[in-house]
Amino acid sequence: MSPTAAVLLPMAEGESHFPPDPSLFWQPLVKFGTIDLFGSEMTLAITRPMVVLALTVGLLSWWLIATTKKAAIVPSKGQAGTEAVYNFVRNGVARDMIGSKDFMPFVPFLFTMFVLILFNNWMGIIPPVQMPTMGRIGFPIALTLLVYIVYHWIGVKKHGFVGYFKFMIPAGLPGWIKPAILGLEMLTFFVTRPLTLALRLFGNMFAGHLLLVVFIIGGWELFQQGGLLTAVSIPAWIMAFAMTVFEALVQFLQAYVFVLLAASYIGGALVDEH
């Protein structure tokens, strides 16, 4: 049972948790005490998403190593499956978005991000776990920071520091509009892109998790009331099933879109002319 549900269930009467506060979602498993960092007090703790992330990384490592240990020209079934996923990222995402000339250095990065986000997202609907790690803002922020550093670093390495800003302005524009374009492009490159990248992944996973909690736990609450409400809980659970299937699709899509956009930004930094 997710911690969100564990908090919402006992409060049938009395105080209401609606509308929910972000502090409702801070439910650490083990606390290690507080430290003073940057002037504010921060609690060191192990939380459930951290445990799920460790579990996912362990599973991923086991899967990738086990299927590629005895890599042969004629692949076994495990190796064929891993190769299918790898080819999907390498050809469908990296080569199409970055271009066939210099996409290879980025394929390990993109493949790792794709399988990491995908497995973590799918943990949101696998029964014993049911915790999408990316539904807590810290994790998408970490991944977005990596992408942010990579595409800026690549752009500056290719065009030089001053050339990077010159590269943001396309050629053949009237002179009076160039500062406006530069301002807009800087806003896009430095603010909008990382913000939207992180928030898109976070929002989708968070909203999907809440949706499932609402239907499953709401159905349970309805079931316990008796009478007509118990009859309504069955459609609620059917909706929960439909939402679970929909969530599986959305989770795959969000992992794909994150990697697609990361590859697009890297490719955009590598083109010769804007």
**How far apart are CB 2 and another protein at their closest, in Å?**
16
Cα–Cα distances (Å) from 133 to 47, 179, 206, 229, in that order, read 10, 41, 9, 33
Q: Which is nearer to another protein, 78 or 92 (CB)?
A: 92
Q: Are strands 28-37 and 40-47 parallel, antiparallel or unpaired?
A: antiparallel
Q: Which is nearer to another protein, 116 or 193 (CB)?
A: 193
Q: Which is nearer to another protein, 115 or 261 (CB)?
A: 261
Cβ partners under 8 Å of residue 177, min gap 6: none
Q: Which is nearer to another protein, 237 or 256 (CB)?
A: 256
Please, what is the Cα angle at 58 between 53 and 64, to 5 degrees? Answer: 120
Q: What's the number of CA atoms in the CB half-sphere (13 Å) around residue 128?
A: 3
**How far apart are CB 202 and another protein at their closest, in Å?**
7
Give the interface with another protein as residue ranges (CB under 8 A): 19-20, 22, 92, 96, 196, 199-200, 202-204, 206-207, 253-254, 256-257, 260-261, 264
What is the rounded radius of gyration, in angstroms, for the C-alpha atoms of the chain?
23
Q: Which is nearer to another protein, 130 or 254 (CB)?
A: 254
**How far apart are CB 266 and another protein at their closest, in Å?**
14
**How far apart are CB 252 and another protein at their closest, in Å?**
11
**How far apart are CB 62 and another protein at their closest, in Å?**
30
The DSSP annotation for 36-93 comes to EETTEEEEEEEEHHHHHHHHHHHHHHHHHHHHHTT--SS--HHHHHHHHHHHIIIIII
